[in-house]
Structure 1
Amino acid sequence: MNTNHWFMWAILSACFAALTAIFAKVGLRQVNSDLATLIRTVIIVFVLSLVVWGLGKWQNPLLLSGKTWLFLTLSALATGASWLCYFRALQLGQASQVAPIDKLSV
């Protein structure tokens, strides 16, 4: 993969992140934010499974190194905590207030 295309992927990420805030705010109107995060996660697992399989990127995860597993696990835990907090903040506040603060993460 050409590493010069990082900017395009970063712009697409920002666009999808904007849609996430808008769609999530509307979707949170009649559901608890923690349940909404679970539903969102299940859908993401399903879609990403199709993408990985469809693009032929599947490999045996048991062959990955312990260090890879450790850091992917830590990343997953941080992502889950971030999503729980983000959805709770969206449920309580305005998307136009929550999303810019969320983007301060870097």
Structure 2
Amino acid sequence: MLDDASKSIFYALLSAFFAALTTIFAKIGVEAINPNLATAIRTVVILVMVWSWVLVRGEFDTFLAITPKTLLFLVFSGLSTGLSWLFYFRALQVGKASLVAPLDKSSLVLVLVFSVLFLQEPLTLKIFLGTSLILIGTLVVIL
């Protein structure tokens, strides 16, 4: 059985794989329609898929136990995700996926800063160097 660190790496790699597919599918999907409509369609698909997942796994019973603080931050996360998707689809419609995706992933630098400032996560040399290399790679792609 995998430990928590190994599980997090496994799930993060799955996330990266599906995020890559998302970019390719989205680029093709927004070629001929308004990106806001494309985002709305995508959102409905996600809504149905994720609620189905929750219901099939029997996880809805904890819904009423959600604290107001948790709900508030999930709403903030949802709003941030929605805005991110709207701007991402607009960028994909007018730009190359090979340029848009690395720029989108430059959010990793902000995650590093925010995680240190707001979550009090440690800034290790390994994390700093890895994030710096991602930033350098992004700059190489866009310049």
Question: What's the TM-score once normalised by structure 2's chain length?
Answer: 0.70
Q: 1:56 to 1:2 in 2, by over 3 A?
A: farther
CA distance in 2, matches of 1:46, 1:32: 22
User: Higher mean Cα deviation, 39-48 or 52-61?
Assistant: 52-61
Question: What's the TM-score once normalised by structure 1's chain length?
Answer: 0.93
Runs of 4+ with deviation above 6 angstroms:
none
CA distance in 1, matches of 2:29, 2:47: 19
- Following superposition, the deviation at residue 41 of structure 1 comes to 0.2
- Which has the larger Rg? 2
Q: How many residues align?
A: 106
Deviations 1:33-88 (A, max 9, x none): 00000000000000111111111111253431110111001101000000000000
Counterpart in the other structure of 1:15: 17
| Unaligned segments of structure 1, at least 5 residues | none
1:56-75 to structure 2, matched below 5 A, reads 56-59=58-61, 61-75=63-77
Q: Answer yes or no: is 1:96 the counterpart of 2:125.
A: no
Counterpart in the other structure of 2:45: 43
CA distance in 1, matches of 2:53, 2:3: 20
Q: Which amino acid aligns with 1:17?
A: A
Counterpart in the other structure of 1:3: 4
- Following superposition, the deviation at residue 102 of structure 1 comes to 0.6
- Following superposition, the deviation at residue 99 of structure 1 comes to 0.4
CA distance in 2, matches of 1:32, 1:65: 37
User: Higher mean Cα deviation, 16-25 or 63-72?
Assistant: 63-72
Q: Identity percentage over the alignment?
A: 50
